[in-house]
Structure 1
Amino acid sequence: MSEIPAKATSSEDTSGGTAARDAAGPLGAGTWQSSPPGSMYDYIKVASFSIGPDGLIDQWSRRAAQLFGVSAQEAVGKDPIEAFVSTELRERGHRKMAEILDGGEWTGVVPFRMPRNRKAGAGGPASGARGPHVPDPHVPGQYGPAPYTEGIAEVYVMPTETESGEHAAVCIVVDVRALRRIETDLAASQAIFGQSPFGFLLFGTDLKVQRANRPFAAVFGGRADDHRGRTVHDYLPRGEADRVQAALRRVLESGESVTDMQLVGPAPDSAERRHWSINLYRVHSGSGRPIGVAGLATDVTRRHAAAREAAHARRNLALLNEAGARIGNSLDLETTARELLDVVVPGFCDLASVDLYQGLLAGDESALNSRSLADGSAELRRVAAASAVADVPYLEASGGDGVVEVGAVHRYAFNSPCADALRTARPQFVPAASGGLIQSTLAVPMVAHDTVVGLARFARTKGSEPFNDRDRALAVELAARAAVCIDNARLYRREHERALILQRSLLPPDDPEASGLDIACRYLPGNAATEVGGDWFDVIELPGHRTALVVGDVMGRGLRAAVAMGELRTAVRTLALLDLEPAEVLSALDEIARGLGTPGSPSSPAPGPGGGVQQATRAARRAGDADLSEVYLATCVYAVYDAVTRRCTFANAGHLPPVLVEPGEGALMLDVPPGMPLGVGGEPFEEVEVELPEGSLLALYTDGLVESRDHPLDEGLSAFRSALDDPSPALEDVCDHVLTTLDTHHGEDDIALLMARVQGLPADAVGDWTLPREPRSVGRAREFTRAQLTQWDLEPLVDTTELLVSELVTNALRYGEGEIRLRLLLDRTLVCEVWDAGLVQPRRRRARDTDEGGRGLQLVGLLSASWGSRRTPRGKTVWFELPLPDGDSAAVDPTEALLSLY
């Protein structure tokens, strides 16, 4: 049974059938008319074929050829069950066919198959062409090797009769997959219209609204159905509506989508201007004919507002970045002011100027604390000015008071906004003069460290946008950055001469380094009202991966106190290198401090190997009858830390106690007997040994950190301990946190802070052996040394170290007493120590050519970077140190070193 097509019009109706229906008028008898686009048959392809009384296909429609991929020539005369049903379903299929040919009717879903090289819906070959082979059910073996694909069809089989009255049948077939696609499309359409949070419209080919969803109706009022039949002119101003109308027509005709079309218009019942983003897409029927345009509308008003804010923020950020890069490159006050104006003109304003206090420029620090600053009437000097307007090169001093040129000294009137800005340290808007070119001016005080140093003025001419609150905040930030740089330049000029004296005697060179310790330190001088103080600190590396930590404070002020501090620091370093115990170091320093106040005392009283301590003692005795005010008193805490044992020995001369922070614990002050200050004399100093846990924090400081007029000592110590509870892993951050938390800006005294975090040597970096007092211990010492250095991957040092270890162990056997202890320490250098119970210190001498001995210590001194000996509670220790190989420098050949001794 073939299909009967509808009567076609002379040309394709792109209007979706609307024009055709309107032209034809009402439907009547004998009227034929095409279905409009979107008809059911555009989406569902219905195929049909007829079956004769013999059960074979006798008619095959073109839709059937498209569905099954088999032409009429191939299908007619074939058994449909054998041709299109799989083997396992054929028996049931034949029974159903027999029932139908007996007059039955059946509807159901049937799996079918078709040749694999044909696709359902692809259509069969043209008339007369030979298509793929359709197996003949009567020929054996026809179905074996043929490849097939599977499909599912919904079938309606109705009985028919031939002219002779025989039973036949007609089959109506629909591809189930097409039905599923329609269901999916309907579900997606319902989701878009019913659940989408955006406004959705469907325009017909007449560009009228056919459907709208609820979010769209919520914006423009009414129910969704109320918008049917409306046009875009019902929603937008005429100009915007014409744009959308043209876009709709263009999309409908060309099929090219429109994305992110920006529209502006008022919302219903509101004068507020809204911004929308419109996306337009052409919609097609199942046969591919255009049936309208879909529109998606999104309210982007907030996005536009955010974009404007972002643009302003980007501009502000760009100015701040430029300010950070260009302002403060010089420590000159005038240059820094000009750098500020180079940034703001013309990017931020049209005119600008910078005024700084005349007293600040003249170096009169006391002028910054005068009463004239409090009322804003102090003299200012215009140090910089810039203009992007040729007609207005300079800003006036105040409204109508005349133009102030660069270099001129002037005052602002007491009641002027500029004077008010200087008094209150708050920016002020300056009213514009009537008839002038300037329409908006900002007066911004330049504040650094709570001190006003000057005034920056920014102006915009007519035609530019007036300053707003956002601009005022940016101006304050720019002025603050410049003020900090100007204040830094001022402080640099003030401290320059002091730094020349103190930098050579106060701080350790570069960043202090110590074995087993992470060091951080800070030194803050007093303000301009105070003279140079005598606070100091030091970090001294000692043999055996030990470190001496020193913090001291010379009482008094002025240059003499600073010189005394420098001499004491030099003496401490000298005594520390003699490897004395902490109490002995402080005792020697006490005698030296007593000698500093004596007229004619040595300028460098630090003791040396030749009896410097005795000289200082005699000088102190000569000063015994002198007035106590002439004696320089100083407090000092001296600590020696051993990175191997993680034990630290303290001695204190009247100084504030050290503070220890153990991991997971609060800060506590160590109980170290304070003793008398240096220079008093007559009292011995006590030592305290403390084991420092791994990761603990040790802090040494001077009283300027914890004491001021406004904060008593107890309160300052409590605040210091609380500040040290900060769990920051970076020691530099801990230092900064302490200085930020405590009141360190009072400027009444210098501040010295030395902090050390314990990082003891790991166990695998220490080799320790006890050797019996017998000759074979020399060989065993070499074996231990070679094995340990090999384990540490220090093969280049094996020969040299073995040779030097042999010399030290041999000396211990010959001249020492008791058991011998050999220890190797690996950190930034390799240290070897040989211990014995003898008290006699080794002495290096120059061996003559004929001497058979005396060259051992010469060899040690020649091959090692340094060597020495020190006393211990149970004898002495002789040590040497070797640098680690860096891959570039060649190690010293022991053979060549031996030959050089002769």
Structure 2
Amino acid sequence: MSSMSAVWQSSPPGSIYDYIQVASFALGSDGRIAQWSERAAELLGLTAHQAIGKDPVEAFVPPEYQETGHRAVADILDGREWTGLVPYRSPQSPSGHGIAEVYVMPAQDENGKRSALCIAVDVSALRGLETDLASSQAVFGQSPLGFFLFGTDLRMLRVNERFAKVFGRPTEEYRGVTPHDLLPRGEADRLAAALRQVLDSGQALTDMPLMGQTPGSTDRRRWSVSLYRLHSGSGRPIGIAGLATDVTGRRRAEQEAAGVRRNLALLNEAGARIGTSLDLETTARELLDVAVPQFCDLASVDLYQGLLSGDETPPGLADGSAELRRVAFASAVSDGPVAFGDICRVNTAEDPKPIQVGEVHRYPFNSLCAHALRTAQVRVVPGRDGSENLELGAMLQSTLVVPMVARDTVVGLAQFSRTKGSEPFGERDRALAVELAARAAVSIDNARLYRREHERALILQRSLLPPGDPEAAGLDIACRYLPGNAATEVGGDWFDVIELPGHRTALVVGDVMGRGLRAAVAMGELRTAVRTLALLDLEPAEVLSALDEIALGLGTPGGSHAGARPGSRALARGGQAAEDSSDLTEVYLATCVYAVYDPVTRRCTFANAGHPPPSWWNRVSTPC
């Protein structure tokens, strides 16, 4: 736009004259009205035809003030300027009277005679404007919120004290400032674009988030900014007003609340997903499935090699340098490394060598990882810029090194890393990492204890069974026994071959209900009891009846069955389990078949207590 078009515009100028009515008229050399404006007609209620040629004092001033008015007009025609308050008859006022502030300037007509130019403003309009300006100034200056004004050239016109205090400059220094003088480039570009949009469209913009730093501070601040366009009385845009609120604290509180909700959800997920298997490596992978990417970007788990190999000694060594095996690794970074090195050494001159899953390794004594294993304390390892190992040190922001502790025993080490650009680890994150590692550690230790009990039960069970293939007079005996394994727990099944007087042979097959070490112990006790009873040369039914009484004693404190209710039986008879012996239901409820073979008479006599009945084959017939 050229300077000429900026001056000569067809629209109203848009200034203070839009808010107050300024009436103008001219007096001739005779003191009568020579010219009359439309604004004067609106203010005083007379048209130009009615006003021109009249004495202004007699036409508008009340009678009691006319004498003073004539003296003032005489002074004006003598060439004096005059300013004052003049009462006048006002057809627009309810009382019929008003007060005008009049400014009179001496002038000359085309003949060189004295005349005057008069400007009159209604005092009530001036006082209203003054009140409005004072109120606006109070709101602008005393508000606890930051107010600012931008002109149509997107340069700042004015700010209040609150805004100036936030950005650390005197209010007068903000005039002419642009968004790029206040904010980082990216945020300044966003604010400038928003100002232009509001100025062009007239649509207000609310709660626009902005981030930056105040002078002399490195802390990142957050503001919420609302913008709206300002207009003159004629509707012409004259600038943009804004309201800025520091929401750093509120945003931090929202982030804290969101973090708490996230952590609770993560712990709930961990409770459901970690520890579903008794396999140690599976549990480690379950931990990483929960942690990545919800909690961190990369993670790994190392477990003590002795723990994985079944060593009965306590995991680790006193100096924390025992061998470990990398059992799990997870990454949410598409172009990240496929393995972690020794993260604890990224701040040393030596770059770590990547450790592959399944690799056995040691942490140096002076490394942070070894220190964490020795002390069972969490360590924070910062990333390293400029590392030659670009896949590791340069991409990581920080790493939490968390010992996996269960029952005061360190079973391994978990490492959680976040890449640059992610939110840094806080105290709340440290606590969450410890909780996640502890849950996995308890599951791993439970698996270790179960494996130890399983192995002991298996050893006990095998030690109580007949060694090799048993032999008996007049019999060819073949047997096959499959003990429990890692997938199926050790049970209480047993068999036995007992030599009796008269070349007879007792054959026993039994099953103690239950699993694990207690079932194996119960099986051993019942097997010993059967052997003892067999030597008494009792009938099979008598052996099982006596065994039932013995089993009742085994299932009560002190080995006594005096407190057992009459009719209760530990051995199920006729395929029915004892319902009245709650003490024996889990451990000493058992079934047994006892047979005695006499090679002289070639007869086999057996008694059965709840066990599947034996089958026999004739060489020339089908099984019975």
TM-score bracket, normalised by the shorter chain, equals 0.3 to 0.5
Query: Normalization by structure 2: what TM-score?
Result: 0.46
